[in-house]
Amino acid sequence: MSPVTSEEFRRACGRFATGITIATVLDAEGVPHGLTVSSFTSVSLNPPLILICLGHAVTLIEVFRAACFFGINVLAADQRALSERFARKNEDRFNALEWHPGQTGVPLLPGCLASIECAVDRRITAGDHDIFVAEMVSARVAEGDPLIHFASRYRALA
């Protein structure tokens, strides 16, 4: 049996519809950073654990590795431009962008369906990614439709 290629892997996993989040963190100097993340999931109800996966090639990986807390901003259907902004490389994504610090200090973005603050529980290296398992310490939710990604395109609920 031949190994699965990177392209086959991406196409197959792309058939799983996901919501879009922006993971946010403060660096040691208190500067906000963030990136678009679709690899977010709930892990446990008791304790309330979630996880995100970040690739080793992500420029912010060391900032997340050093942080005790990070934020998850679950994007609404009308926040596609925000998703695209935080997916771009080598850019100050927070430049002239409205945000507020959560209870833990992590950057939270307005207009999201959920704003979640997490305390890092553990980090696991798996292949070319780090899995960050974290306990949800604060959450705020709003009504609305989600921003969805499927087969390498943004989608809307029917």
pTM value surpassing 0.75 = yes
Q: Note whether residue 157 is domain-resident.
A: no
Going by C-alpha positions, the residue among 115, 132, 116, 112 that lies closest to residue 124 is: 132
Number of domains present in the structure of the chain: 1
- H or E element in which residue 51 lies: strand 49-55
Q: Is 34 exposed, middle or buried (0-12, 13-18, 19+ CB in 10 A)?
A: buried
Q: Note whether residue 158 is domain-resident.
A: no
Q: Per residue of the chain (158 residues), what is the pLDDT tens digit? A: 889 998 999 899 888 899 999 999 999 999 999 999 999 999 999 999 999 999 999 999 999 999 999 999 999 999 999 999 999 987 789 999 999 999 999 999 999 999 999 999 999 999 999 999 999 999 999 999 999 999 989 998 87
Which CATH number belongs to the domain containing residue 134 in this structure? 2.30.110.10
Q: Note whether residue 155 is domain-resident.
A: no
How much is the pLDDT for 25?
A: 98
How much is the pLDDT for 132?
A: 98
Q: Note whether residue 49 is domain-resident.
A: yes
